[in-house]
Structure 1
Amino acid sequence: MKASDLGLIQSIGSPSLSPDGGHAVVSVERVDLAADRYYADLWLVPLDGGPAPSRLTSGELDREPCWSPDGRWLAFTRSVAGSGPQLYLLPAAGGDPRRLTSHPLGVSSPRWAPDSATLAYVARVPEAGRYVAPIAQTAASEPPRRITELRYREDGVGYTIGRRKQIFGVDLADGAVSQYTAGDADHEFAAWSPDGTRLAFVAARHADRDTVPARDVFVMSTSDGHVTPVTQTSLRASHPVFSARGDQVYFLGTEIGDRFNETYLNPTSLWVAELTDTGALPAERLTDAETMDLVPTAAGPALAVTDQGVLAMVARRGAVDLVRVEAGGDVVDVISGPTQVLGYDAVGGLVVAAVASDTEAGELSCVTPTGVRRLTAFGATLSAAAPVAPMREVAGTAADGHPVHGWILRPLGAGPFPVILAVHGGPHRYFGWRLLDQAQACVDAGYVVVMGNPRGSAGYGAEHGRAVRHAFGDVDVQDLMALVDIAVDDFGGDPDRVGVIGASYGGFMAAWLAATSDRFASAIVDRATVDWCDSDIDDDVDYTHLYIGADPETQRIKSPLTFAEDVSIPVLVMVAEQDLRCPPSQGRRFFSALKRAGQHTELLSFPGASHMFHDSGSPRHRELRLDAIIDWFDGTMKSRGQDMSNPG
């Protein structure tokens, strides 16, 4: 698989099941490299082994399908001609979709009321005179923004003040739109009560949200607007859902910890709060905080209440499993193995899930009494045209005796092969059983690729995740070096030709290793923070305080920029010019320091790109980035060993 094969990958979203359990609908997304854009269509998938899946829509970007409880309608979001997504309605019996909303900044997260008469959804409400054309086309004439909070921007969005997320409802009978929430806070994750009289949602309404980054669950009466708080500003909550009787609310929640929080060091758990006539009782945690870390979905429900228990997704050693948490506290696997569940839906006892693996971007599967049955083959085009390399699971031991876990991808042939150590972001993200275009392109070019989950990664228990508190560039380095040893000793890796690449936290690590280790021959520092003394990371956590500590001298000696003059290997620095997570100024300063020191370095700057552009940015930028990675490592590691023009 090469960078030019990005257009062969078909990615799927979270499915929606018909109320009778006969069909699922899923959004299937693809890249058009020539047009430099994305397309997404809705597909109808029978569950009874009948006709093959068929395309339902042919819009530009059709996503977030949502079947009405009475089975008559299919709601979804559609983006047309670069505009924000709007809500559309498609008759299940056939016909043309009709548009329901016209919000200037688009909508998301449609949720049906139980009577199928109303759709709730989320939309940003722009401040008058901002964000909406033609006013936005003359931004130079806008008044200045008066900013009073620390959290005022978001990567991929820009300024969030003056365009807060609010929850709306649209009546199908007359098209009337009602705004359910208001105020200077983002409101999201709407969920209906079984009787359709209440909405649960999540918002940060507390006055000290700058330094207490909790998000609370609230329940609102849709008849009079009365709001009842369910949680007490001690959790970062998301994805509420009512119990079958409507007397409880289940939700995901993470303890926030100290000032400026340690949320990212704590696992996400399943919680439940009982609702009474006078309010809500204190929430109870239902999953073990030390061993289970639950995973929210980007779209679709993260939790589903069934007769047997609550369905949820959990991160486990690079896998994402679907589990059922039963009333007695037992956790039962529903879908598990060397895969990642991307999203799911459940109706009665039926479960359908989108499932990815190391060689497949995602397929729909149905859970049956005898096992898990595959329903689709959207990845057939890719597998036929560009066979992908499987991931080989490895385990080892770090220098301090800590167990190490990861994966290695290897080209065909005898080797020795140059090695690329890839470091994930986060650090509380994780590599795992998922098709990764970067890894596949590097294997195709003749490299052994090493991907591991060092201490700090999610999915290995709370102690593993907390190990990097005030310890960046320490225990995580030990784990990564142990994985490089495995690649060299057991997979034909060349010890003299080892490169490192990483983005975000991985970019910090690539810069740190380039400056402090003699193990590497080349490095790519991608969208990194390199100076903790002057970081401007826009997020809900103070990374410097959390991972480095408050002492200025410690921050200085943990900054790769401090040791730029010690770098002796070629370094390619990549920045995204609209990156609000790891600002491009950090990468530019590292490049400048290397250049002034006379080092071999280049700067690759992607115009208009945000922090996550490698996954969801311009397809052309994604292709150029992959090609640049191969070109850089080819150009900087060839001279250290054998010619790589015909690897393997």
Structure 2
Amino acid sequence: MTGKKPFTPESLLELRGVSDPQLAPDGVRVVYLEHWIETIAKDGHDVPSYRSTIMLSDGPDAPPRRLTWSPTGVASAPRFSPDGRYLAFTSTRHGDKPHLYVLDFNGGDARPLTTPTELSEGIQAFDWHPDSSALCFLTTGHKTADDNATARTHDERVFDGRLPFKFDGAGILHPDRSQLWRVGRDGTGLAQLTHTPYDIEEPRWSPTGDAIAFTSIARPEHEWSYIRDLFVLDLNTHELRQLTASQGPVEAPTWDATGQRLAFLGHNQRSGPATNVGVWTIDLAGGLATCLTDGIDRSVGSTTMGDVHFGSHPDRIAWSGERLFFTATDHGRTGIYHVPTSGGKVTQSSTSGLSALNFTLQAGTIAFHGETNTRIGEIYTMTEDGKAVARRSHAADEIASSYAVSIPEHIAFKGVDDWDLEGWLIKPAGFTEDRRYPLVLYIHGGPHMDFGNGFFHEFQVLANAGFGVFFCNPRGGRSYGEAFTNAVRSHFGEKDYEDLMKAADLAASWSWVDPERMGIMGGSYGGYMTNWIITHTDRFAAACTQRSISNLVSFAGTSDIGPRFSRDEFGGLPWTDEEFLMSHSPIRYVKNVRTPTLILHQENDHRCPMEQAEQFYTALVYLGVPVRFVRFPEEGHNLSRSGQPQRRINRINHMINWFDHYLKPTAE
């Protein structure tokens, strides 16, 4: 590590990452997105902005090459046509809304299939016809010039019983519903296929070409609770059939090769939202859906957290003959697994120690995004059984060779009730045994997410700034079994608090840690727990609470997920359970706070609304507690992972400055 650069907040601008690997039908070629940050002139100022391009790897030994060259915009969702000749993708090269483009591998530039003139709201998800002649896609609808003129003179938003009416990252929702459309590969034949009263998501064209499956809300009372069902549109008869009668989520529908069965991800709410997500199948002819993964006490999908996850990483399923492939997370490490389509033993395919954020499968080959907690993710391929693992991208090579990475140490310890818990420790840069150091205990969000085998730029920066960083998984995370996940529901601030105090006790016992210079921090659920902790103990010398919750009663009516999360996670609703919710609200106990507190919050956060931070800040000022309140304009809940780059840098600098002041002696 001699001569390598230390990670700083500003090193964020040098990071590069990858996402969304897609295999060609031959299982050899791989396309993926490469992401970076580039300074772009905007409104007379140079602004660091995200860019992305589509890369192609022709084989395991071939260097990747760039496919798209637009000087502006962001490319997303590259998808090979079933015949392998074309590549469809979305791009914002002609405005702020994504539109659909097709590239012919035989030559020529990418051609737009949709335009802002035809579809002013852009497009959402899309899928290919099995003969590669057309594509289906989602949009909120066709807007004429007259429609847009009317919108400018009537810009009020009207909602007649719709809930949610806003969503984090999207803002106030568009009054129109997303519907299913089609367009020919040559851009002709644009037509709307559905006119449903609810949003359509995740369209999947059947391998026979005569049907499209998608997910949607079946019943109006389920919209706010996110219960979804699986539907199939018959393109010959225009009949729309509902295949499932779900009690929970339904996601990622995927056809088998015959077009007679569908697989999807979902659960039956037996433990509410803490229920393990499973792989289910259902026959097109009808009948009950069957869960194939009840044999493992783990939830399907990736819950491993990191802050260099550029792009989107949706959970997927893939059919391969008589097996179904999927990801699942165990002890903070996401792997690729498979199960017989008739049910039976679940088997893991080795990913050589890499956490597989997501994957795709074609012709016996798997392509996946693989990362560790010491290396930013890259694209890899392997056989279905985990052999011949080969790296296909090199986006982060420069970072790996030029930056000094502090290696997290795995820590196993006991929580309350003798539960087995684990965490990871990054010691301060330049660590020596003969010194005592400050340490911060970091709490993850969710609460059903996990720290583990994922890379965090932020943790590397904090360690380089001279702090030990201990990040652990109290009860509530999703990679330790359903009972572990469910343990926090209706019990926020109870045994999860005790687990975290056990972690703090352990950290304070390490000879190199100064227990008088320990800090506490976290975001979202971690922000709630930070607020809860400082209202119940003054053992920490400083706190940083981010995108937090302080009042469970007001949260229920102001968050985009308020009623559902309040009922299903916190354990009640204000109009029936006000006292219970207030008894679990940090704001009730705020008069106990003595800890100097930094509050970081985003003004467009619809998940944990700004009013939550405002209440807590107002109380701390009134009570005379040292407090600083930093409001980030324009940003939503995910500032730390995908916010405007300069604001991400500023956020980390605010943390370091706060902890420098309160956790380090003046001489340092």
TM-score (norm 1): 0.92
Q: Which residue matches 2:59?
A: 47
Residue pair 1:296, 1:313 contacting (<8 A) in 2 also: yes
Is contact 1:121-1:168 (8 Å) kept? yes
Report if aligned partners of 1:236, 1:263 keep a CA contact under 8 Å in 2. no
SS at match of 1:622: helix
The equivalent position to 1:413 in structure 2, one of 421, 424, 431, is 431
1:212 deviates by 5.0
Cα displacement (A) at 1:66: 0.4
| CA positional deviation for 1:562 | 1.4
Quick check: 552-561 or 576-585, which moved more? 552-561
Report the equivalent of 1:122. 138
- 1:17-41 CA distances to partner (integer Å, 9 max, x unpaired)? 1222331010011123653211001
Q: 1:295 to 1:126 in 2, by over 3 A?
A: farther
Residue of 275, 278, 301 corresponding to 1:266: 275
Which of 161, 171, 191 is 2:184 aligned to? 171
Deviation at 1:490, TM superposition (A): 4.3
The 2-side partners of 1:296 and 1:486 are apart by 28
Are the aligned partners of 1:126 and 1:163 in contact in 2 as well (CA < 8 Å)?
no
Q: Distance in 2 between matches of 1:127 and 1:318?
A: 45
Give the drift of 1:65.
0.7
Task: Say whether residues 1:378 and 2:388 are aligned partners.
Answer: no
Q: Cα distance, 1:540 vs. partner?
A: 7.2
Mapped partners of 2:150, 2:29: distance in 1: 45
Q: Find the aligned partners of 1:638 and 1:133 in 2 and give their Cα distance.
A: 57
Distance 1:69 1:643, change over 3 A: farther
* Residue 143 to residue 447, structure 1, CA distance change in 2 (3 Å): closer
Paired residues for 1:27-176 under 5 Å: 27-32=33-38, 35-50=47-62, 52-59=63-70, 60-80=73-93, 83-102=96-115, 103-125=119-141, 138=152, 141-176=154-189
1:534 to 522, 539, 554: 554
3-state SS of 1:164 partner: coil
Please tell me whether residue 437 in structure 1 is matched to residue 451 in structure 2.
no
How many angstroms apart in 2 are the aligned matches of 1:374 and 1:496?
Answer: 45
After superposition, the Cα gap between the structure-2 partners of 1:574 and 1:46, relative to the gap in structure 1 and judged at 3 Å, is same
Q: Secondary structure, in 3 states, of the residue corresponding to 2:294?
A: coil
Per-residue CA deviation, residues 40-86 of structure 1 (Å, 9 max, x unaligned), is 01111132413x11111122311211011111111111112651111
Q: Please give the alpha-carbon distance, in whole angstroms, between the structure 2 residues aligned to 1:192 and 1:492.
A: 59
Deviation digits for residues 136-169 of structure 1, max 9, x if unmatched?
A: 6x57x43451331332211111222513222222
Determine the C-alpha separation between the residues in 1 that align with 2:23 and 2:615: 51
SS at match of 1:5: helix
- Using the alignment, how far apart are the partners of 1:632 and 1:460 within structure 2? 34
Structure 1 contact 27–40 (Cα < 8 Å) conserved: yes
Aligned residue among 436, 451, 476 for 1:456: 476
The residue identity in structure 1 corresponding to 2:52 is: A
> Aligned residue for 2:43?
none
SS at structure 1 position matched to 2:344:
coil
Report the CA distance between 1:643 and its aligned residue.
4.0
* SS of structure 1 residue aligned to 2:249: strand
Contact 2:262 2:284 in 1 (8 A): yes
Mapping 1:110-509, distance limit 5 Å:
110-125=126-141, 138=152, 141-210=154-223, 213-256=226-269, 263-276=272-285, 280-288=286-294, 291-295=297-301, 298-299=312-313, 302-327=316-341, 328-336=343-351, 338-368=353-383, 370-411=387-428, 412-414=430-432, 415-490=435-510, 492-509=512-529
Identity rate of aligned residues, in percent? 28
Cα shift at 1:250 = 0.5
Instruction: Note the C-alpha offset of 1:238.
Output: 0.5
Per the alignment, do residues 98 and 612 of structure 1 end up closer, same or farther by CA in structure 2, a change over 3 Å counting? same
* Helix, strand or coil at the partner of 1:351: strand
Structure 1 contact 237–252 (Cα < 8 Å) conserved: yes
Of residues 382-391 and 56-65 in structure 1, the stretch that sits farther from structure 2 once superposed is: 382-391
Q: Is the 8 A contact 1:109 1:300 kept in 2?
A: no
Amino acid paired to 1:608: E
Write out per-residue CA displacement over residues 608-638 of structure 1, whole angstroms, 9 at most, x where no aligned residue.
Answer: 1111122112111111111111111111212
Q: What is the Cα deviation at residue 6 of structure 1?
A: 0.8
Deviation at 1:533, TM superposition (A): 2.3
SS of the residue 2:51 aligns to: strand
CA distance in 1 between partners of 2:546 and 2:145 (Å): 36
Asked whether the 8 Å contact 1:419–1:447 carries over to 2, the reply is yes
How many angstroms apart in 1 are the aligned matches of 2:367 and 2:299? 22
Which moves more between the two structures, 76-85 or 572-581?
A: 76-85
Deviates more, 1:288-297 or 1:219-228: 288-297
Q: Is the 8 A contact 1:308 1:326 kept in 2?
A: yes
Displacement of 1:350:
1.1
> Is the 2:315–2:327 contact (alpha carbons within 8 Å) kept by the matching residues of 1?
no
Is 406-415 or 186-195 further displaced after alignment?
A: 406-415
Q: For the Cα contact (< 8 Å) 2:213–2:230, is it kept in 1?
A: yes
- The alignment status of 1:609 with 2:627, answered yes or no, reads no
Conserved 8 A contact 1:470-1:547:
yes
CA gap 1:440/1:174 in 2 versus in 1, 3 angstroms:
closer
TM-score by length of 2: 0.90
Residues 577-615 of structure 1: CA deviation (Å, up to 9, x unaligned):
111111101101100100011110011001111111221
Gaps (5+ residues) in structure 1?
none
Look up the equivalent residue of 2:57 and give its one-letter code: V
- Contact 1:269-1:289 within 8 A present in 2 as well: no
Q: Is the 8 A contact 1:189 1:201 kept in 2?
A: yes
Distance 1:135 1:359 in 2: 53
- Which range moved further: 189-198 or 119-128? 119-128
Q: CA 1:540–1:593 in structure 2 vs 1: closer, same or farther (change >3 Å)?
A: closer
- 1:597 maps onto 2:623 in alignment: yes
1:95 deviation in Å? 2.2
Q: CA deviation at 1:482?
A: 2.4
Give the secondary-structure state (helix, strand or coil) at the position aligned to 1:344.
strand
1:558 aligns to 2:584 (yes or no): yes
In structure 2, how many angstroms separate the alpha carbons of the residues matched to 1:579 and 1:478?
29
For residues 324 and 569 of structure 2, what CA distance do their matches in structure 1 show?
Answer: 34
Aligned to 2:645: 619
Deviation sequence 1:514-569 (CA, Å, 0-9, x none)? 11113211111111110112212212753333344333333222211112221111
On the 8 A contact 1:448/1:487 being kept in 2, the answer is: no
SS of equivalent residue, structure 1 residue 293: coil
How many Å apart are 1:266 and its aligned residue?
1.1
Please state if 1:549 is matched with 2:563: no
